[in-house]
């Protein structure tokens, strides 16, 4: 077939390219507690209410269904915590119960993944609004 100034479509990978076996561990890691919404990087302070004590902790990211908290001590998976926070650009203080779904050591802190399990519709709407605004700002800054 004659070419008209365009390169012919051809697989340019050479035959010596390494082929890696399919990684089935991903299926093992994915359980029922895996996140269903993307998280966006956001640093904000939250108040973790533990009985009479209040702990102020920082987040690393936020989604509609949960967040990633940097905590000084690990929480056991399944632990329920009361959190209170104000999303960036929001006016409403969000108060909800969150359940620990994962944790990992990060230097002197523990990274704790939590999902929201008891949250009011208005609070969820406030989070969604903030996430949409943050995504818009993020893409504007990246472009």
Torsional sign, CA 111, 123, 91, 48: negative
Lowest mean pLDDT among 71-75, 102-106, 113-117, 122-126: 71-75
For the chain, how big is the Rg over CA atoms in Å? 22
Q: How long, in residues, is the chain?
A: 143
Global pTM? 0.68
Residue 28: predicted pLDDT? 45
- pLDDT of res. 123: 94
The structure tokens listed for 130 are 């903030």
Both structure tokens of 140: 């504007």
Q: What residue segments make up the domains of the chain, in order of their start?
A: 33-142
pLDDT, one tens digit per residue, over 40-65 is: 888 999 999 987 889 899 999 999 99
> Regarding the domain with residue range 33-142, which homologous superfamily does it belong to in the CATH classification?
predicted glycosyltransferase like domains (2.40.10.220)
Matching residue, tokens 């051809």: 10
Mean pLDDT of 27-43: 61
């Amino acid at each position: 077939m004659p070419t008209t100034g365009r390169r012919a479509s051809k697989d340019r990978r050479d035959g010596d390219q390494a082929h890696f076996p399919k990684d089935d561990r991903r299926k093992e890691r994915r359980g029922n507690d895996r996140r269903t919404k993307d998280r966006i990087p956001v640093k904000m302070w939250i108040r973790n209410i533990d009985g009479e004590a209040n702990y102020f902790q920082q987040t690393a990211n936020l989604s509609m269904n949960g967040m990633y908290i940097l905590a000084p001590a690990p929480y056991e998976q399944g632990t329920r915590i009361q959190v209170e926070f104000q999303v960036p650009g929001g006016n409403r203080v969000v108060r909800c119960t969150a359940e620990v779904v994962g944790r990992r050591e990060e230097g002197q802190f523990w990274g704790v993944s939590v999902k929201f399990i008891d949250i009011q519709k208005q609070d969820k709407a406030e989070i969604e609004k903030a996430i949409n605004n943050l995504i818009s700002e993020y893409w504007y800054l990246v472009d």
